[in-house]
Every structure is written in C-alpha cells, then in structure tokens.
C-alpha cells in the first residue's frame, strides 16, 4: 500500500458530497490500494451537520480511509491536497439558469483559488462541480497562478453520462455499450451533446451510433434537448438538483484523470481552451479528451459539420459572456 494522499471535498455537508464521500472513501476514484485522508470543507453554519457526516464516515468502517479533517477554514482544507473536488456553492432552483448563480458563487472560487495556490500541492488536480462550473473553474485557476492551468477542470461528465444513457435507452443496449459521445462547451443549456463520433457495441459488432440509430433528426433535436435540459427536468421532479448522479460523474471524472482512458476512448471535460476547433481561447470549454499518465489532451482531427459549428459557436459565445460577467462581479 502507498502512503495516504489528501483529498478535499468542499460543500462536504451538502447533497452531492453525501454520495461522493462514500465513493471516494471506498476506493472508487483512487483505487483499492490508495489510502486517503479526506479534508471536508463547509461554511461555519454547517459544522454541526458536517460532524454528523464525519460520524457516518467512521461508521462505514472503510479500511482505506486513514483520516478525516472537517473544517470551515480553507487554509486547513487545502493543505497539501493532491485532489480537490470543489462542490460547495449554491444550487439552482426551478426556473433559474445555472449562470444566474454566478453572482452568488463566483467569489467562492476566487477565495478557493487563492487558498489552493497557497496551500495545495503544486500538482493538485482540481474538479469544479459548483455551478456555473466552467466559469467558476476559470476564475479559480486565475487566482492560483502557481498551479498549471491544465490542473483546473469543470465537470461535464454528468452530461456525458446522461447522453450515453439516452443513446443506450434508444437502442435498448446496456449503457456500457455506448462510448465516445461528446459534450462540447458550457455545462448549461447551450452545451452541445454530439453523438456524431459515438460508437456502440451491438450483436458483437462495433457500429457508429448514428448508423445504429438511423435517425439523424432525433440525434439533432430530441437527443440534444433532452441532455441540455436534463438538470432542469430533475429539479422539476425532485425539487432539488441532481446529486447521486452528479457524485457518480465527479467520481468518474477524477478516476479517469488519475487512471487514464482506454486506447481509442475519449471522455469530456471542461478545460482551459487553447482555441482548438475554432473555440474561444481562455474560457473553460468542454472538449473530448484522452488521458495518459495523468495528463489530458484534447482529441484532435474530428470532423465538425455545419450543424456542429453553429452549436460550438453558440456555447462558446455564452462562455465568453459569462467570463465578462464573472470578472465584473469579482471586480465590483
Ligand atoms: N457540474 C455539474 O454537473 C453539477 C453541478 N451541480 C452544482 O453543485 C453545487 C452543489 O450542489 P449540492 O451539493 O446539491 O448543493 P447543497 O446545497 O446540497 O450543498 C452545497 C454545500 O456547499 C456549502 N457551501 C456553500 N458555500 C461554501 C463555501 N464557500 N465553502 C465550502 N462550502 C460551501 C453549503 O453550506 C452546502 O453544505 C451546486 O452549485 C450545483 O448547482 C449540481 C449537479 C451537477
Ligand atoms: O441543473 C442543475 O442546476 C444541476 C446541474 O448542474 C445538473 O444537474 O446538471
């Protein structure tokens, strides 16, 4: 067994963390041979609730979990961490867009960027879950200049998982038979779920998802809209935003980042854009990436048709607007 690593989860007394902490502690993310010490950050008001979470983690009796540090102090929470799940922030309510949360949440990511910069390991890998996740991740990275910007990512894995599930359901296949669906752009209703490069395993053969589905109109309309609006649909049903599926997606994202992707497989992550595929630079844009030795690379050379071009441009434009708004809020 290796030495324990330190992993921070913010918003540790909240809904998503309630599912996520168990997955991390039992080895779903860093593997069955990697002991860990969990740092749990929440706000002072939530310290009583957090104490209950700490009790439950102890009561899970998980051998890999070597310590738990509950705190309301970012300096303690981010000290020497190798991985950071930035969940803590306000969720949206019915009728809101995620960008409506910018004024409530973006300052949190400035403060946490500064704390990561001062206290975390320089190779810390950061996943921003709190909405609006892409722009929060960008701001966090800007306030942590001593940590490479490629170490800051935003979560679009839930959208990817939703998209895979929609295609699997349409074809009556197990969800594990669908891969390489792409989420481009913002984790918002302008995101572009793109199945044009997706593949499915069916009857022992690998097929393009579009050849198996044989309905391009569905793939460009119902499929896209269902995935774009899935978060809002869950809120309407549960009166609370997705939590179990968000926790699973956060675990998937970080597991793949640490462990890598299989040859030929790609996954979607919000990363600081280098302008690939004609997207705006210096916004956190979700791309298909492949991951090796802990480093992600944007998958290059995919065909972008006229429909895709329009979708990429629209979501890129929204990200540029969000960035301007965020800078305005922080400067105010
Ligand atoms: N990127 C994605 O795919 C998804 C993102 N989300 C977002 O994740 C965030 C958390 O959602 P839930 O866990 O359901 O919310 P929640 O309200 O149940 O929990 C949030 C927790 O964060 C804490 N918190 C607030 N400010 C904090 C700060 N400065 N430092 C540390 N903790 C702080 C709160 O006290 C609360 O305990 C929301 O912004 C939500 O919109 C949710 C689902 C999917
Ligand atoms: O919709 C929301 O506000 C929560 C979220 O990000 C999602 O479920 O995708």
Residue 191 beta carbon below 6 angstroms from any ligand 2 atom: no
Asked if the structure places residue 329 within a domain, the reply is no
Residue 136 beta carbon below 6 angstroms from any ligand 2 atom: no
Residue 88 beta carbon below 6 angstroms from any ligand 1 atom: yes
Residue 242 beta carbon below 6 angstroms from any ligand 2 atom: yes
Ligand nearest to the CA of 105: 1
Residue 246 beta carbon below 6 angstroms from any ligand 1 atom: yes
Supply the pLDDT for residue 274: 98
The CATH number given to whatever domain includes residue 26 is: 3.40.50.720
Residue 91 beta carbon below 6 angstroms from any ligand 1 atom: yes
Ligand 1 mean position, distance from CA 100 (Å): 14
Rounded to two decimals, the ipTM of the complex is: 0.99
Ligand 2 mean position, distance from CA 158 (Å): 9
Domain span at residue 288 reads: 157-322
Ligand 2 atom with the shortest distance to the CA of 162: 9
Domains of the chain: total: 2
Is 187 assigned a catalytic role?
yes
Q: Is 313 in the same domain as 170?
A: yes
Report, as ranges of residue numbers, the positions in the chain whose pLDDT lies below 50. Answer: none
User: Which residues contribute to the annotated binding site for substrate?
Assistant: 92, 98, 131, 162
The CATH number given to whatever domain includes residue 308 is: 3.90.110.10
Asked if the structure places residue 70 within a domain, the reply is yes
Ligand 1 atom with the shortest distance to the CA of 74: 30
Supply the pLDDT for residue 29: 98
Q: Is 18 in the same domain as 102?
A: yes
Asked if the structure places residue 308 within a domain, the reply is yes
Ligand nearest to the CA of 133: 1
Asked if the structure places residue 221 within a domain, the reply is yes
Supply the pLDDT for residue 2: 86
Q: Is 131 in the same domain as 164?
A: no
Supply the pLDDT for residue 99: 85
Q: Is 209 in the same domain as 89?
A: no
Ligand nearest to the CA of 85: 1
Among residues 154, 184, 215, the one where a domain terminates is: 154
Asked if the structure places residue 327 within a domain, the reply is no
Predicted TM-score (pTM) of the model is 0.98
The pLDDT tens digits for 128-180 are 999 999 999 999 999 999 999 999 999 999 999 999 999 999 999 999 999 99
Q: Is 193 in the same domain as 44?
A: no
Residue 231 beta carbon below 6 angstroms from any ligand 2 atom: yes
Asked if the structure places residue 283 within a domain, the reply is yes
Q: In 10 A of CB 96, how many CB atoms? A: 14
Q: Is 57 in the same domain as 119?
A: yes
Asked if the structure places residue 100 within a domain, the reply is yes
Nearest alpha carbon, ligand 2 atom 7: 231
Ligand 2 atom with the shortest distance to the CA of 101: 3
Ligand 1 mean position, distance from CA 87 (Å): 5
Substitution site in 158, 159, 190 for ligand 2 pocket (most atoms within 8 Å of beta carbon): 158
Ligand 2 atom with the shortest distance to the CA of 92: 3
Q: Is 140 in the same domain as 14?
A: yes
Q: Is 24 in the same domain as 118?
A: yes
Q: Is 37 in the same domain as 179?
A: no
Residue 131 beta carbon below 6 angstroms from any ligand 1 atom: yes
Q: Is 172 in the same domain as 316?
A: yes
User: Which residues contribute to the annotated binding site for NAD(+)?
Assistant: 42, 105, 129-131
Q: Is 195 in the same domain as 281?
A: yes
Among residues 154, 183, 208, the one where a domain terminates is: 154
Supply the pLDDT for residue 32: 96
Among residues 116, 134, 154, the one where a domain terminates is: 154
Ligand 1 atom with the shortest distance to the CA of 13: 37
Asked if the structure places residue 328 within a domain, the reply is no
Q: Is 88 in the same domain as 147?
A: yes
């Amino acid at each position: 067994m290796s030495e324990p690593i330190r992993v921070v989860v913010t918003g540790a007394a909240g809904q998503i963390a309630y599912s996520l902490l168990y997955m991390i502690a039992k080895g779903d993310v860093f593997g069955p041979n990697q002991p860990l010490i969990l740092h749990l950050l929440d706000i002072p008001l939530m310290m009583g609730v957090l104490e209950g979470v700490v009790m439950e983690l102890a009561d899970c009796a998980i051998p890999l979990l070597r310590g738990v540090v509950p705190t309301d102090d970012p300096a303690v929470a981010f000290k020497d961490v190798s991985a950071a799940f930035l969940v803590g922030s306000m969720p949206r309510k019915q009728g809101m867009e995620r960008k409506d949360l910018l004024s409530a949440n973006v300052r949190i990511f400035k403060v946490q960027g500064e704390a990561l910069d001062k206290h975390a390991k320089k190779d810390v890998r950061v996943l921003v879950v709190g909405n609006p996740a892409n722009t929060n991740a960008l701001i966090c990275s800007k306030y942590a200049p001593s940590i490479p910007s490629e170490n800051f990512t935003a979560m679009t894995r839930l959208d990817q998982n939703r998209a895979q599930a929609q295609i699997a359901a349409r074809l009556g296949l197990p969800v594990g038979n669908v891969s390489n669906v792409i989420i481009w752009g913002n984790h918002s209703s302008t995101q572009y779920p793109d199945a044009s490069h997706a593949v499915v395993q069916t009857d022992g053969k690998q097929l393009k998802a579009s050849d198996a589905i044989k309905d391009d109109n569905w793939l460009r309309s119902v499929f896209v809209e269902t995935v774009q609006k899935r978060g809002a649909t869950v809120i309407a049903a549960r009166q609370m935003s997705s939590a179990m599926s968000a926790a699973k997606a956060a675990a998937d994202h970080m597991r793949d980042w640490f462990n890598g992707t299989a040859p030929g497989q790609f996954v979607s992550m919000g990363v600081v854009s280098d302008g690939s595929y004609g997207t705006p630079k210096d916004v956190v844009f979700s791309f298909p990436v492949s991951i090796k030795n802990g480093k992600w690379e944007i998958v290059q050379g995919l065909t972008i048709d006229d429909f895709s071009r329009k979708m990429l441009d629209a979501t890129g434009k929204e990200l540029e607007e969000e960035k301007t708004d965020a800078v305005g809020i922080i400067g105010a």
